[in-house]
Amino acid sequence: MKFQPARGTQDLLPETAKQFRAIDDFAFAKAQTYGFEPITTPIFEFSEVFHRTLGESSDVVSKETYTFTDRGGESLTLRPEGTAGVARAFISNGLAQNLPLRFYYSGPMFRYERPQKGRYRQFHQIGVEVLGLETPETDIECVALAHDFLKGLGLADKIQLEINTLGDSDSRAKHRERLVEYLQKFKAALSPDSQVRLEKNPLRILDSKDKKDQELLMGAPALHEFLSVDSQKFFDKVLQGLETLGIPFVHQKNLVRGLDYYVHSVFEFTTTHLGAQATVLGGGRYDGLIEMMGGQKTPGVGWASGLERLALLTDPNFGQRPQLQVAVIAAEEMTESECLKISHELRNHKIRSETMLGGNVGKKLKRANKLGAHFALILGSTEMDQKVVTLKNLSTGEQKTVPRYELLQHLKI
């Protein structure tokens, strides 16, 4: 038996697990102030939910999905992202009557990628999706939520917002035609990946990190030259809205994103602090997705962010549990159950308390110190009979006897 976790996966030990949870809770609380509600969809779906929607030629589908046949002969795929599952749930549950809808989700995602810092095969996303609103104001609000959230995590100085528009499907089709015409001339000089993309999904070549590709792309017809009047207007409004809200951005004309379902706005919050894994949060508009999956035409926009990358950037103390206020210590075995009762009463008064169990008083005090408790409350049988406790302030070392009925007054920090 192998004892290490499978490649690209990791155990989240309490320190990291706490940090993930704190970031997730913080994001959800922020999203709630914007009217988002939680949704949870299955971790695996019928393969076509992802394969048809994210684009057969996208990296995620062509190289990275965990797809398997189950014992009943169904082809299933571990979810590589959350949007397609939410769209599927919207259709399966007949939610079209309740629009607009705002969903928040978090959970593990799976991509067979080459693991490195900030990139895993099992990773965790938090994400939001707004369904049923086709206005630029919705995009603005989505980006504003992302910005608000990242700023609240203390990341304002570490991130940059890049935004672009892919236009509507007409704009994209016209651009694609001219781009292919242009790139065909240089086909032999393109990187092998880009040569394949030229046949399957030429727009993705714009995203190439290959130096030579990038040089060739300098002279390529740019998407924004083919934008329809309506698409341009839509995008101008989004940018104006961001300016009004004081959200700094860079219009990154080559930003195309890796999934096929996007139209109009696409955006990424990037960082220079994570090496190659520069994208902390990414999203955009996907007005055709639900219809493509067989539902009624329903516009959508959203984003997702990887908790692993967020945790690497965020102060490790962010949202850590408040320090233990009282460590309750039984000096003798016979006072142990009374100690549990005291801890319970203290918690009812919203005081963080924990009964130190096991070992002698010395060991328990050591543990209380290690946990950073403000006070140690010690109870022996004499104290129990006299209805008092010994209270030790662990930072000053001061120790006093306090009547039980006065206890709360002495626990102020």
Residues binding ligand HAM (CB under 6 A): 81-83, 111, 113, 118-120, 123, 125, 127, 129, 258, 279-284, 286, 302-306, 308-309
Q: Residue 195 or 279: which CB sits closer to ligand HAM?
A: 279
**Rounded to whole angstroms, how far apart are CA atoms 64 and 145?**
29
For the bound state, the minimum distance from the C-beta of residue 355 to ligand HAM, rounded and expressed in Å, comes to 39
CB 128 within 8 A of CB 102: yes
For the bound state, the minimum distance from the C-beta of residue 213 to ligand HAM, rounded and expressed in Å, comes to 20
**Rounded to whole angstroms, how far apart are CA atoms 326 and 269?**
42
Burial (0-12, 13-18, 19+ Cβ within 10 Å), 90: buried
For the bound state, the minimum distance from the C-beta of residue 227 to ligand HAM, rounded and expressed in Å, comes to 21
Distances from the Cα of 373 to the Cα of 113, 327, 370, 397, angstroms: 43, 6, 8, 12
- β-pair type (122-131, 101-110): antiparallel
Q: Residue 79 or 374: which CB sits closer to ligand HAM?
A: 79
Q: Residue 258 or 319: which CB sits closer to ligand HAM?
A: 258
- β-pair type (375-379, 44-46): unpaired
Q: Estimate the crossing angle of helix 169-184 against helix 192-200, to 10 degrees.
A: 130
For the bound state, the minimum distance from the C-beta of residue 80 to ligand HAM, rounded and expressed in Å, comes to 7
For the bound state, the minimum distance from the C-beta of residue 401 to ligand HAM, rounded and expressed in Å, comes to 55
Query: Any idea what the Cα angle at residue 335 is, between residues 334 and 340, rounded to 5°?
Result: 125
- β-pair type (399-403, 37-38): unpaired
Q: Residue 108 or 221: which CB sits closer to ligand HAM?
A: 108
Tokens standing for 272? 């220079």
For the bound state, the minimum distance from the C-beta of residue 64 to ligand HAM, rounded and expressed in Å, comes to 8
Q: Residue 86 or 328: which CB sits closer to ligand HAM?
A: 86
Q: Residue 139 or 383: which CB sits closer to ligand HAM?
A: 139
